[in-house]
């Protein structure tokens, strides 16, 4: 910050915002704050308040693509999830998209591996889908993870595989899918989607 020729304060940081009285310099990004408020209200179940704030601000809690992706991931519709990755903006652009694709397919593999009769499908998924991603082929971290996933195939007992992967044998995978969703959201452009609890952590 500095002073202008008349001795007043000249703000150098902040965002200009329109109001009834003219332009006002806000010391924060208005749109991001509104989205943080929307996300916080979602976590507290204030559905009507969310709709009211969206209407008044002209902003949405999440982009349509991010919302559809969330539904697909929670339902375990992996084909649809992969398609919807293209409808979301990623912080690292194409690299972020490729890593997101790897995360989705890795989770698909782990769910198949944890299923009582899913070993054959898990092998096919790892060989033809996970291993074929750019992230697995070109990124050192991806290659390391791929080797780790392949080692899980040596476990012949479904219960043991489930214990290692943290997924239930033939049970609900909702918790692990929500965790996958949070991993994906951390890699999204913050204007497309916000992670849980971000406002409370500020």
pLDDT digits 0-9 by tens, 81-136 = 999 999 888 988 999 999 999 999 999 998 888 887 888 999 999 999 999 999 99
Closest among 170, 192, 122, 171 to 150, alpha carbons compared: 122
Residue 22 inside a domain? The answer is: no
The pLDDT of residue 47: 79
User: Looking at 39, 61, 83, which one is the last position of a domain?
Assistant: 61
Residue 10 inside a domain? The answer is: no
Q: What is the pTM of this model?
A: 0.67
Q: Which domain holds residue 56?
A: 27-61
Examine the domain organization and report whether 42 and 120 are in the same domain: no
Examine the domain organization and report whether 52 and 143 are in the same domain: no
Burial category of 166 from C-beta neighbours within 10 Å (exposed 0-12, middle 13-18, buried 19 and up): exposed
Examine the domain organization and report whether 35 and 66 are in the same domain: no
Residue 68 inside a domain? The answer is: yes
Residue 178 in tokens: 């929500």
Examine the domain organization and report whether 183 and 84 are in the same domain: yes
Examine the domain organization and report whether 93 and 131 are in the same domain: yes
Examine the domain organization and report whether 33 and 120 are in the same domain: no
Distance, CA of 51 to CA of 47 (rounded, Å): 6
Positions of the chain with pLDDT under 50: 1-16, 18-21, 199-200, 202
Residue 15 inside a domain? The answer is: no
Distance, CA of 169 to CA of 162 (rounded, Å): 6
Closest among 12, 57, 4, 69 to 33, alpha carbons compared: 57
Examine the domain organization and report whether 41 and 56 are in the same domain: yes
Examine the domain organization and report whether 42 and 101 are in the same domain: no
Q: What are phi and psi of 185, to 5 degrees?
A: -65, -30
Examine the domain organization and report whether 144 and 55 are in the same domain: no
The pLDDT of residue 154: 84
The pLDDT of residue 83: 96
Residue 146 inside a domain? The answer is: yes
Distance, CA of 194 to CA of 15 (rounded, Å): 20
Residue 80 inside a domain? The answer is: yes
116-150 CB burial, b ≥16 within 10 A, e <16: eebbeebeebbeebbbebebbeebeebeebbeebe
Residue 13 inside a domain? The answer is: no
Per the structure, how many domains does the chain have? 2
Instruction: Calculate Rg over the CA atoms of the chain.
Output: 22
């Amino acid at each position: 910050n500095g002073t202008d020729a008349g001795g007043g304060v000249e703000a150098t940081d902040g965002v200009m915002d329109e109001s009834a009285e003219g332009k006002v310099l806000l010391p924060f990004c208005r749109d991001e704050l509104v989205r943080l408020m929307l996300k916080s209200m979602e976590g507290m179940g204030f559905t009507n308040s969310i709709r009211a704030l969206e209407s008044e601000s002209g902003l949405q809690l999440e982009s349509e693509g991010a919302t559809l992706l969330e539904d697909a991931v929670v339902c375990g519709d992996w084909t649809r999830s992969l398609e919807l990755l293209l409808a979301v903006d990623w912080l690292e652009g194409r690299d972020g998209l490729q890593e997101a694709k790897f995360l989705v397919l890795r989770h698909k593999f782990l769910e198949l591996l944890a299923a009582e009769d899913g070993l054959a499908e898990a092998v096919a998924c790892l060989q033809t889908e996970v291993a074929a991603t750019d992230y697995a082929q070109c990124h050192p971290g991806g290659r390391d993870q791929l080797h780790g996933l392949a080692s899980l195939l040596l476990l012949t007992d479904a219960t043991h595989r489930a214990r290692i992967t943290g997924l239930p044998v033939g049970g609900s995978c909702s918790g692990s899918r929500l965790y996958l969703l949070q991993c994906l959201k951390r890699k999204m452009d913050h204007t497309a989607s916000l992670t849980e609890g971000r406002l409370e952590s500020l």
